[in-house]
Amino acid sequence: MSEQVLVVPEEVAFENGQPNGFSSCLDSFWQIFDEKNQLFMDREEAEENPKFKQLIPYVIIQRGDLCFSYYRGKVQGEKRLHGKRSVGVGGHINPIDDYDVKYDRYTAAVLRELNEEIRFQPPATYWSFPPIGVIYDGKDDVGQVHLGVVHKLILPLSCSPTGFEDGILSPTFLAASELEAKAEDFEGWSQSCLEHGLCRPSFQIPRNPLFDDPPCFD
């Protein structure tokens, strides 16, 4: 059976306008978080149908003044991104995320992806990953079928990654200035994040009435 991925119809996702790269105007995209506007579709079909946008959580991780980055390995699902550098952690939302009894589908998916791809020590008992915008690049076949939701996870200095899934290669924390200087090495979404200064410690996470106040670590 083909993998099922969560999608939102294009006319719903962009009913208030289509972003070009990163947009911090989350209030124009509230509808993509409404489960009534979401459905699951075979991934093979979704990859070929730009009338539906695959919703992808994309989490930037900051620790102190440094930002997490890595190279995408061959075991990661999106073959067209293999070998590219990235500052975003995340992936597709699947039906399994509906079975979480504590969180809604979308939040459950973000937590699942983080816990699958990175292990932290000490473990975070309450994650904080407020959304800071959406990202869309319709210039190629890959970008036309994906809509990213950019989040920022602020790690306390006492919390550091201790392990990674096989698809995360050469993981490291670097200053935003170092990442921005090598922006051409990164995948398109990461380039847009770097261009907008999202990896800088000075970036202010906006408050949004659509979401609860960011939780914190114990």
d(CA 74, CA 167) in angstroms, rounded, equals: 6
pLDDT in tens, 95-104: 999 987 778 8
**CA 130 from centroid of its chain's CA atoms:** 11
d(CA 117, CA 99) in angstroms, rounded, equals: 20
pLDDT in tens, 153-194: 988 888 878 778 888 999 999 999 999 999 999 999 999 999
d(CA 159, CA 61) in angstroms, rounded, equals: 12
Question: Does residue 1 or residue 61 have the better pLDDT?
Answer: 61
Domain boundaries of the chain, sorted by first residue = 4-195
Contact criterion met (CB below 8 Å) for 31 and 213: no
Residue 170 has which token pair? 């050469």
Contact criterion met (CB below 8 Å) for 166 and 150: no
Please report, rounded to a whole number, the percentage of residues in the chain having pLDDT higher than 90.
62
Contact criterion met (CB below 8 Å) for 156 and 136: no
pLDDT in tens, 60-116: 999 999 999 999 886 555 566 667 899 999 999 999 999 877 788 998 899 888 888
Residue 67 has which token pair? 């930002």
Q: Which CATH number fits domain 4-195: 3.30.70.1140, 3.40.50.700, 3.90.79.10, 1.50.10.20?
A: 3.90.79.10
Backbone angles phi, psi at 118, to 5 degrees: -140, 140
d(CA 175, CA 182) in angstroms, rounded, equals: 11
Q: Could you give the angle at the alpha carbon of 94 between the alpha carbons of 153 and 92, nearest 5°?
A: 50
Instruction: Give the pLDDT confidence score for residue 181 in this predicted structure.
Output: 97
